[in-house]
Amino acid sequence: MPKENLEDLEQTLGVTFQNKDTLRQALVHRSYLNEHPDFRLGHNERMEFLGDAVLELVVTENLYLNYENPEGELTNWRAALVNADMLSDLCRLLEIEPYLHLSRGESKDKDSKARKYILANAFESIIGAIYIDGGWDAAKSFIQERVLSELPRILKQRLYVDPKSRFQEAAQEHVGVTPSYKVLSEEGPDHAKRFEVGVYLGKEQVAVGTGMSKHEAQVAAAGEALKQKEW
């Protein structure tokens, strides 16, 4: 059962809602309504649609006003701020997950790729709810405090560069070797394959990553390799 004390969540978010149901609906995944068709609120997909647009505009405006960098660089920075990995991490950081209304199946599936997108979408839904309840200034303030505050870390750690490129640059700098990747296993039907890929420096296997495509598994392996090497 999801947590129901929204006052605690409001305190964590730093936002007080005039209409608590606006926040509550932002936490309702479509799957929950399949099992609870008599639930008095709808799902959060329309709020997510709205929140996604508000998030992108606030981030874009901030980057445009504060940085003279070329469009291509700003686009990469924005992507690093609003992608599913970042938003799902922020959702977990703010402890939103226990408040989500999910089906029994979705509730059990905690570590899948699908859960990451559910969390990222919920974060966008909450932004949409803040915009509906408190207007542009409230949504902008929340995004500045919770999302744009991550920009210094993104720039310092060059997280706007994909992990494969970062690991290749680091490997060439530290050991003068270009990483190579090898598929270690693949399983599942064609429409839902799961790949396991190893990343190597010469003959040394540095890390392993998994994904629904070879590229996704390579990126995961490179990200893990950066952690292992502390580069």
* Measured distance CA(88)–CA(203) in Å, rounded: 35
Which SS3 state, helix, strand or coil, does residue 205 take?
A: strand
Structural Rg of the chain based on CA atoms: 20
Q: 213 near 195, Cβ under 8 Å?
A: yes
Q: 3-class DSSP state for residue 44?
A: coil
Catalytic-role residue among 97, 106, 124, 133 = 124
**CA 150 to chain CA centroid, nearest Å:** 13
* Cα–Cα distance measured from residue 6 to residue 11, given in angstroms and rounded to the nearest whole number: 9
Angle of helix 163-174 relative to helix 214-229, nearest 10 degrees, comes to 40
3-class DSSP assignment, residue 177: coil
- Please work out, in degrees rounded to the nearest 5, the angle formed at the alpha carbon of residue 111 by the alpha carbons of 161 and 30: 100
Q: Which residue in 52, 97, 106, 133 is the catalytic one? A: 52
38 is catalytic: no
Give the integer Cα–Cα distance in Å for 69 and 89. 27
Per the annotation, the verdict on 52 as an active-site residue is: yes
Residues forming the active site: 52, 124
